[in-house]
Amino acid sequence: MHILFLSHYFPPEVNAPATRTYEHCRHWVEAGHKVTVVTCVPNHPQGKIYPGFKNRLYQKEIVDGIEVIRLWTYITANEGFLKRTLNYVLYMIAVIMALPFLPKANIVVSTSPQFFCGLAGFFYSFFKRARWILEIRDLWPESIIAVGAITNKKIIRVLEWIERFAYRRSDKIVCVTDAFKKYISNKGIDSNKIEVIKNGVDLQLFSEFSGKNELAEEYQLSDKFVASYVGTHGMAHHLETVLEAANLLRDRDDIIFILVGDGAERNKLLSLKEEMQLNNVLMLGQMPKARMPEVWDLSDASLVLLKKSDLFKTVIPSKIFESMAMRKPIVLGVEGEVKEIIENAECGICIEPENAQQLADALTKLADDAELHKNKGDNGRRYVENYFDRKVLANNYANVFDAL
């Protein structure tokens, strides 16, 4: 079977959609499928083209057996609604313009959160007579409405129309949480049309780290209790909570906070860190995926945080699975479905979103109780081995193809 995957992001970019797309596609190739990914030149999140790449109209490469086609698009940083929307729309237009040159596949998968990439799947399926799977990794436009990124009611109505159109016209919808399935069903979509394939983790990549940890040496962290936030620094994450907790723990010389990643709020957070004079916070910026096991190795706790919003009760941040695979206890400031996972796995401490005092208390508890810390870490590894192995999930996804 030939699968063509439309994704705005792909390695060497290191965000969750790039990782999910790559790992699934790699497993499908190993299972004997032909896989083509149509994406952009890597530039996320700073809007700067990665070394060794050029923003050409049409270029091909092979990555671990995956045929990767990169199309020209407007490049911008991951900030500012209008510029980012233009980036998304032009990717869709680039796919439409490239249709005569794209290979004919049996299945086209187009992945959200933004529906312009999703709509590109509609155009491909229409002109190439392929079955169309719409993948929903985030509820859009609801998520950008929830964080206040867009308030214009006319624009919201247009985006909601696109959302309904994509739900109706796709042959199958694959989403990443049970709550997403319920939400989409409540939009009038037959639940039999919707499959849930949750995020997971590559258990071989994220296992015991055996090499020399140069990061720990560089920042002198070997004798510290390190609380790590890894991921996008965006409006949805309310990372001011981390800085507020660090301020509460400024007298604990043994507890250090590190933030790894980039995003629209990073400069604001850097300024706030300097204003608060926080010497117990390190902001390391974006790091390549290959170095993430090193980051997790030096970490003693993983911070998973989102704003306090009913919408975010439906999401499962993918970073929990990497944390669990690396035996790192999680301090979770998110309500809803992901909280159920952490509680069932007994692999972390759940706190109220945006509550800095509870975050500080949870970290103090883990830092001061070695047995509790070890048990929660071991529980997390065992749980992802049983339920969130990316290879198993990729096989489940392939079964959806076979059923079409």
Position 286 confidence tier, pLDDT thresholds 50, 70, 90: confident
Q: Does domain 2-200+389-403 have CATH number 3.40.50.2000?
A: yes
Question: What pLDDT, in 10s, does the model give residues 158-188?
Answer: 888 888 899 999 999 999 999 999 999 999 9
- C-alpha dihedral sign at 152, 238, 353, 343: positive
Q: Do domains 2-200+389-403 and 214-387 have the same CATH topology?
A: yes
Bridge-partner residues for 67, per DSSP?
A: 36, 62
- Tell me, what's the pLDDT at 355? 98
- Tell me, what's the pLDDT at 149? 67
Cα torsion at 262, 226, 366, 322 (round to 10°)?
A: 50
Q: Which of 151-160, 175-184, 303-312, 362-371 tops mean pLDDT?
A: 362-371
Comparing CA positions, the residue from 110, 169, 116, 174 lying closest to residue 141 is 116
Query: pTM here?
Result: 0.87
Question: What pLDDT, in 10s, does the model give residues 247-277?
Answer: 999 999 999 999 999 888 999 999 999 999 9
Question: What pLDDT, in 10s, does the model give residues 89-116?
Answer: 999 999 999 999 999 999 999 998 677 8
Question: What pLDDT, in 10s, does the model give residues 338-351?
Answer: 999 999 999 999 99
Question: What pLDDT, in 10s, does the model give residues 180-225?
Answer: 999 999 999 999 999 999 999 999 888 877 777 888 888 999 899 9
How far CA 345 is from CA of 286, 318, 322, 387, in Å, comes to 29, 15, 14, 10
- Could you state, in order of their start, the residue ranges of all structural domains in the chain? 2-200+389-403, 214-387
Range in 67-81, 255-269, 372-386 with the lowest mean pLDDT:
67-81
Position 11 confidence tier, pLDDT thresholds 50, 70, 90: very high
- Provide the CATH number for the domain formed by 214-387 in this structure: 3.40.50.2000
d(CA 330, CA 348): 4
- Tell me, what's the pLDDT at 214? 84
Is the preceding peptide bond at 317 cis, omega within 30 degrees of 0? no
Residue 79 scores a pLDDT above 70:
no
